[in-house]
Structure 1
Amino acid sequence: MRVTQSMLSNNFMRNLSNSYERMGKYQEQLYTGKKVSKPSDDPVVAMKGVNYRTELTEIQQYQRNLGEVHNWMDNSDAAMDKMTKALQRVRELAVQGNNDTYEEGQRGNIAKEVRQLKDHMIDLANTKVNNKYIFNGTNTTNPRFDEEGNLVAGSENNDAVNITVSDGVEIRANTNPSNIFNHEGESVIHELEDFATDLEEGATDEELGEYIESMDHFTNNVVNERASLGARMNRVDMIENRLNSQEVTTTQVLSDTEDVDVEKAIMNLKTQESVHRAALSTGARIIQPTLMDFLR
């Protein structure tokens, strides 16, 4: 086959174009810090990157969900802690009231404190976090009790607020309000009001003594529900630790898949620049002068 000057020139230009393309690729890797800028550069790497990025996005969403769970649980736990202390104080007052040495005026003062504690229990029962009532099941837009301590008509709800915290895993973020505020069909709010009324109306020591046992029941209810919440909080902590580990691992794998080795890219670019300069030098010798060059 006869090799012509035209063939030599065309081959040189094609190879020179490929050399520019390779230098552009290495320069782009250094600019972006990524191995590929479009799927056609390396379909396998691009597909793996999409999969890892999707997994990382899901993990981060679960972590945000866990933040919401923590918000519900931490505030519920804090409110129940205050409820326990309030009920313990009421029990102390019941013990004081169940004493023959206390006069009517003194029992009236105890009644006033009991009513203040009742209002405090109502406030705690209507705890609102992030514009949601956390002690009324899934009916988070309405309070559980009105100002008098009566259930808000049609709003009582004990359903679970479940939040997805991992693939196929849901955690109940709220408590069961009925377990906290009721005992054998009696509301703790009404029981406190009855106690205050009996103190004012001169109930017998035996009648007042019944409130000691009653407060023990309500306190135990709160403690038991708080223990159930605590068990779920421990599980949430374990899930959070696992998600944090997964995030670190997935981020590292994604980086290994997509991120360019800067040192290697610089070396490749320098090597290609040397090759390119050699190609230009060689091309200058291959391309012979033409008749047009002599006619200038």
Structure 2
Amino acid sequence: MRVTQTMLSNNMLLNLNRSYGRMSKLQDQLNSGTKITRPSDDPVIAVKGMGYRRDLGRVEQYTRNMNEVNNWIDTTDESLNQVGEQMKRVRELVIQAANDTNTPDERAKIKTEIDQIRQQIQDVSNTKIGDRYIFSGTNTDKPLFVDATPPNADGSKIINADYQLYDGTNIISTAADKLTAPNADVQIEVYDGIQLQVNAPGADLFGNIDSLMGKISNLLDPERVPGPATSEEISKALGGFTSNSKSDDITNIHNKILETQADMGARQNRVELMENRLSLREISVTKQLSNNEDVDYSKAITEMVTSESIHQAALSVGARIIQQTLVDFIR
């Protein structure tokens, strides 16, 4: 095949363009720190990178969910701790009231404090995080206790009628749909396909507490019918009431509060395990993304120096080829 001067010139220009292209790509990698600047550079790397970024996005969302879980659990545990402290005070007052040396007026004063504690516990049952009630199940926009109509003389509230019927002694559930029940589980997703319950069963717990507080208040009422309660009757509030209620005295109530707090503590331990798992997942995915996209600077710089040397050699050879003219051949 006859090789002409035009062919030599065209091939030289083509090779120079390719050399410029290689150096331009290496320069882009060094400037951006990534192997590709557009999907067309390497579709495989681009697709893998999209998957890794999607995984990181999920991890970030689950981490935000964990903050919400911690908020719910910490607030619930703090509220239950307050209730537990109040029940200790109720126990002290009942022990004091059970003494027959107390006059009706003294028991009436104890009743006044019992009524105030009852209202305080009702307020605690309506604890909110932001604008959400934490003890109202999935119906977080409604309080667990609402004002009675007409209002009770002692200022106490009643279980929200939208949830339950409350006869002053026991809770009678009327919620047919679990999604609107006050004891329905509030679930928050913390990992792929894993959800954690963040609320406590408020209606049963606080309903039984309120029922007990109402009984104690009635026992200490000077105008009680058929007459003032005896010390034995008052002492039964410490542990001895008999009814169909699951928790009908201070001992059972306090044990129920402790059980609920233990349950919340166990969930908190699991939350810590899930946070560690998310942290490890984030590190793993970030490393995979780095291995997939980040440029190896030492390798890229070496290639860049090599390409520049080759390019300079090509320019030197090209200069000799292009400068040849017909006059040079005649000579």
TM-score by length of 2: 0.82
Cα distance in 2 for residues equivalent to 1:161 and 1:251: 32
Contact 2:66 2:271 in 1 (8 A): yes
Cα distance in 2 for residues equivalent to 1:55 and 1:39: 19
Q: Deviations over 1:77-110 (max 9, x none)?
A: 1111111111111011101110012222322221
Does residue 33 of structure 2 align to residue 37 of structure 1? no
Does residue 157 of structure 2 align to residue 149 of structure 1? yes
Partner residue of 2:236?
210
Equivalent AA in structure 2 for residue 94 of structure 1: V
Contact 2:126 2:134 in 1 (8 A): yes
Partner residue of 1:130?
130
Contact 1:195 1:211 in 2 (8 A): yes
Equivalent AA in structure 2 for residue 21 of structure 1: G
SS in 2 for 1:139: coil
Deviates more, 1:191-200 or 1:278-287: 191-200
Point out the structure with the larger helix share.
1
Identity fraction in percent: 43
Unaligned runs of 5+ in 1: none
Equivalent AA in structure 2 for residue 153 of structure 1: A
Partner residue of 1:66?
66
2:306 corresponds to which of 261, 268, 271:
271
Contact 1:135 1:177 in 2 (8 A): yes
Partner residue of 1:280?
315
Q: Deviations over 1:198-230 (max 9, x none)?
A: 323142212211221211121111111222222
Unaligned runs of 5+ in 2: 148-155, 165-181, 223-227, 240-248
Cα distance in 2 for residues equivalent to 1:32 and 1:176: 54
Cα distance in 2 for residues equivalent to 1:108 and 1:26: 88
Contact 2:122 2:206 in 1 (8 A): no
Deviates more, 1:209-218 or 1:88-97: 209-218
SS in 2 for 1:171: strand
Deviates more, 1:57-66 or 1:2-11: 57-66
Cα distance in 2 for residues equivalent to 1:22 and 1:224: 69
Deviates more, 1:56-65 or 1:84-93: 56-65
Contact 1:179 1:221 in 2 (8 A): no
Contact 1:181 1:218 in 2 (8 A): no
Does residue 202 of structure 2 align to residue 167 of structure 1? no
Q: Report matched runs for 1:224-243 at 5 Å.
A: 224-243=259-278
Equivalent AA in structure 1 for residue 183 of structure 2: N
Equivalent AA in structure 2 for residue 107 of structure 1: R
Cα distance in 1 for residues equivalent to 2:108 and 2:306: 95
Does residue 75 of structure 2 align to residue 75 of structure 1? yes
Cα distance in 2 for residues equivalent to 1:130 and 1:259: 42
Partner residue of 2:212?
191
Point out 4+ residue stretches in structure 1 off by more than 4 angstroms: 289-292
SS in 2 for 1:55: helix
Cα distance in 1 for residues equivalent to 2:162 and 2:315: 86
Partner residue of 1:158?
183
Cα distance in 2 for residues equivalent to 1:280 and 1:180: 87
How far is 1:154 from its partner?
0.5
Cα distance in 2 for residues equivalent to 1:190 and 1:221: 14
Contact 1:62 1:166 in 2 (8 A): yes
SS in 2 for 1:138: coil
Contact 2:136 2:203 in 1 (8 A): no
SS in 2 for 1:164: strand
Q: Report matched runs for 1:45-56 at 5 Å.
A: 45-56=45-56
How far is 1:266 from its partner?
2.1
Deviates more, 1:66-75 or 1:120-129: 66-75
Cα distance in 1 for residues equivalent to 2:122 and 2:11: 88
Equivalent AA in structure 2 for residue 9 of structure 1: S
Contact 2:115 2:213 in 1 (8 A): yes
Equivalent AA in structure 1 for residue 286 of structure 2: T
